[in-house]
Amino acid sequence: MNITKLCRDQPCFVRLPDVCNGNPETTVPAHIRLIGISGMGIKAPDFLLCPACSNCHDAIDRRRYMDLDRDYVLKAHYEGVFRWQKQLYDRELLVVA
């Protein structure tokens, strides 16, 4: 199962107010970035991502919306990952042993 492909056409799970475009056609997988998990040339595992619209993804990657507090954006991203994991768990696509 390719979790990144499941992100296609999903709603944005990050949902940053005044940023999110709400357009599932722009949704892409947004991986967590965290020292010890990801880094130069190392992408986080696919269970540490969530679908994000292009605008929210730009805020997460600091390409745009730089005026937003970094911790605020990180919190929204982490919450999106948890919502996504719950959805995958409910659909029996994420199994906890």
* Structural domain contains residue 31: yes
pLDDT tens, 22-80? 999 999 999 998 888 888 888 898 999 999 999 999 999 999 999 999 999 999 999 99
Note the pTM of the prediction, 2 decimals. 0.92
Residue the block writes with tokens 């991203």: 77
31 is catalytic: yes
* Structural domain contains residue 75: yes
Residues 78 and 96: their CA atoms lie apart, in Å, by: 19
Catalytic residue of the set 31, 77, 80, 84: 31
Residues 60 and 74: their CA atoms lie apart, in Å, by: 7
Give the torsion through C-alpha atoms of 57, 62, 63, 65, to 10 deg. Answer: 90
What is the domain extent for residue 84? 3-90
Residue 50: φ, ψ to 5°: -150, 160
Number of independent structural domains in the chain:
1
Question: In the prediction, which pLDDT does 9 show?
Answer: 95
